[in-house]
Structure formats: C-alpha cells, structure tokens
C-alpha cells in the first residue's frame, strides 16, 4: 500500500504541475544535488522567432533561402522548424516538394529538392564537416543560427531567438538556496548556452551536445558523486533521462521522453522542479 503521506504528496504534486509516474523517482528527488536542465522549452519558452535572414551568395533572395528551408522544415517538429514555418506562412511563400527527408540528429535536417541536396544545419555541423564559417558571420549572444546549404554551397543563414521563461531565474535561485546546482545541457551553440547560463546564474553549461553525448554528460556528473536529475523533452533526451538518478520529462515534449522519465512536468515550468524536491523532502521527513 502507498503510505498516506506519499498519497497526499502525490495529490499535492498533481496540483503543482507534477505527474509522478514512478515512486522511486519521487523518493529519490530529495537526494538531488545537481539538476541538469535542457534549454529549449523548460528554461526558455520554446518558441523560436526568426530575427534575421542573412544572404551568403550573391543574387539569392531572402525568400529563396526561406523557401528551400521550408521544404525541409515542414517535415520536422523541432521548435526551430516551427519558427521557420511561421515566417514562411507570414510571407505567403509557396513551400516546394522535398524528397528523401532525413533528420541529422541534433544538428539539423536534409532532403532533396528538384534533385538538389539541401541541408539546414547548426554551426556545430559545419565545424564537424570542416566547412569554414562565412567571413562576415556574426551572431548575437541570444541567437540560434541555422545555415542553409544547397549542393554544398552555403547560401545563407537564418537567425532565431527564443525567450527565457520569466519563472526560470527564481527557480535557479531557490535551488541554490537548497544547495542544489543547476547545469544547462543543450544542442544549441555556445554563445546562446553561455548567455542563458549567465543570465540565470547557473553553475555551468554544456553546449553543442549531440544526442548520444547527453547520456555521457550525466554519467560524468555521477562519477563526481553528484546525485543527478535531468529535465528533457526530446526523443534525443530519453537515454540521458534513463541514466539520470531522477528523470524528469517536460509535458509538452515527446512521448518517448515521457515514457522514460519517472516524473512529468505537466506545465514545463522549471519552478515545479523546485516543488518536486521540496515535496520529496517534506514527505520522507514525515515518514521517519
Ligand atoms: P536542444 O534540445 O538543446 O534544443 P537539439 O538537439 O534539439 O537541441 O538541436 C540542436 C541543434 O540542432 C539546434 O540548435 C539546431 O542548430 C539543430 N537542429 C535540430 N533540429 C533542427 C531542425 N529541424 N532544423 C534546423 N536545425 C535543427
Ligand atoms: Mg530538445
């Protein structure tokens, strides 16, 4: 049977936006020493808006860059894709057909348009493929940038920005009050990661992390004797959520993340992670 205090806390948790799927995860929440937060959708709102379109090849128009990107992004559910499709709709750009669509996990998407190979990818992807960044390339500290490549030519890039959730700073501060560290883990570029981490006063960040590396980062922290919770929303995050001592899925995310995690943040609000830990502590204090 479920002890009464636990049952009560579970009901209280539901009111506070927490769905406890696994009681061990709830029990363990009071022992958390480090929380690893994914960026998009938990600490940030998760709504990307296109802020700039920069042309890198003469004669190409902004709308052509968007048109090529849209043919790929209409197949993707990433928040970046949603942001690009919104401006494409606003500008009433006709979306062309694409074939052979493929996600390049954690780095972008690719497909063929009229037999031509088109990619929309991260700065990290360029680095990995030894493609030099364009000379005049600049990104603001809060811009996420994706490059549009047609047949191995960098034709332009699209800068997007997301907003930090108003509740995030207070959530981090409260965690610190309880001597819990908060670390950012993201596939996004270093400037954005550093900017979010600095603005929220976090204890560090890992940027440009590929999906298979997320799990390794959790292990590294555990090897340093940290008791680690992780929040995540993507299919990509599932292995890391499983590795963490407490896996917390964000409600708006993928089903696979939700299946793997012991706890679900129904409203994707980072403050609810704080409630989880406080409930955990209060519940198990009452029992002993
Ligand atoms: P996170 O979950 O931390 O936002 P992801 O692993 O989902 O990171 O994505 C990492 C990076 O991969 C993005 O910042 C972007 O550069 C690139 N990326 C992922 N999906 C797409 C997409 N659909 N279109 C363009 N770029 C993408
Ligand atoms: Mg993600």
pLDDT at 12 over 70: no
Q: Kindly give the distance from the C-alpha atom of residue 104 to the centroid of ligand 1, in angstroms, as a whole number.
A: 9
pLDDT at 47 over 90: yes
Query: What is the rounded average pLDDT of the residues 99-127?
Result: 95
Percent of the chain with pLDDT over 90: 70
Nearest CA residue ID for atom 13, ligand 1 = 188
Is the CB of 108 within 6 Å of ligand 1? yes
Query: What are the phi and psi torsion angles at 131 (to 5°)?
Result: -95, 120
216-238 per-position pLDDT tens digit: 999 999 999 999 999 988 778 88
Q: Which ligand is nearest to the CA of 125?
A: 1
What is the structure's pLDDT at 31?
94
Q: Which ligand is nearest to the CA of 233?
A: 2
79-90 per-position pLDDT tens digit: 999 999 999 999
What is the structure's pLDDT at 246?
96
Q: pTM of this prediction? A: 0.90
Domains delineated in the chain: 4-44+164-287 (3.40.50.1000), 49-161 (3.40.1110.10)
What is the structure's pLDDT at 6?
63
Query: What is the rounded average pLDDT of the residues 243-265?
Result: 86
> Which of 38-42, 108-112, 128-132, 279-283 shows the lowest per-residue confidence on average (mean pLDDT)?
279-283
Tell me the residues surrounding ligand 2 (ion) with CB < 5 Å: 234
Which ipTM was obtained for this model?
0.97
Q: Give the residue, out of 82, 106, 239, with the most ligand 1 atoms within 8 A of its beta carbon, to mutate for a pocket test.
A: 106
Nearest CA residue ID for atom 8, ligand 1 = 187
């Amino acid at each position: 049977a479920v002890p009464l205090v636990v049952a009560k806390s579970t009901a209280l948790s539901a009111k506070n936006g927490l769905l406890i799927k696994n009681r061990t995860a709830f029990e363990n929440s009071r022992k958390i020493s480090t929380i690893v937060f994914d960026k998009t959708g938990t600490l940030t709102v998760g709504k990307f808006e296109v802020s700039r379109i920069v042309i890198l090849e003469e004669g190409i128009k902004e709308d052509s860059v968007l048109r090529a990107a849209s043919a790929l992004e209409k197949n993707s559910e990433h928040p970046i894709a949603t942001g690009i499709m919104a401006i494409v709709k606003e500008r009433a750009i006709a979306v062309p057909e694409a074939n052979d669509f493929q996600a390049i996990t954690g780095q972008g998407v690719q497909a063929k348009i009229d037999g031509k190979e088109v990619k929309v990818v991260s700065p990290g992807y360029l680095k990995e493929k030894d493609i030099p960044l364009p000379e005049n390339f600049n990104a603001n500290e809060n811009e996420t940038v994706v490059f549009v490549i047609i047949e191995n030519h960098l034709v332009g890039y699209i800068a997007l920005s997301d907003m930090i959730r108003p509740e995030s700073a207070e959530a981090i501060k409260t965690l610190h009050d309880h001597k819990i560290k908060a670390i950012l883990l993201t596939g996004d570029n270093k400037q954005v990661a550093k900017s979010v981490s600095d603005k929220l006063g976090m204890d560090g960040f890992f940027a440009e992390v590929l999906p298979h590396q997320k799990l390794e980062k959790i292990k590294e922290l555990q090897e340093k004797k940290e008791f680690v919770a992780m929040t995540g929303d993507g299919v990509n995050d599932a292995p890391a959520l499983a590795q963490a001592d407490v896996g917390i899925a964000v409600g708006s995310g993928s089903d696979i993340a939700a299946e793997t995690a012991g706890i679900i943040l129904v409203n994707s609000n980072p403050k609810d992670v704080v409630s989880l830990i406080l409930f955990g502590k209060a519940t198990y204090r009452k029992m002993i």
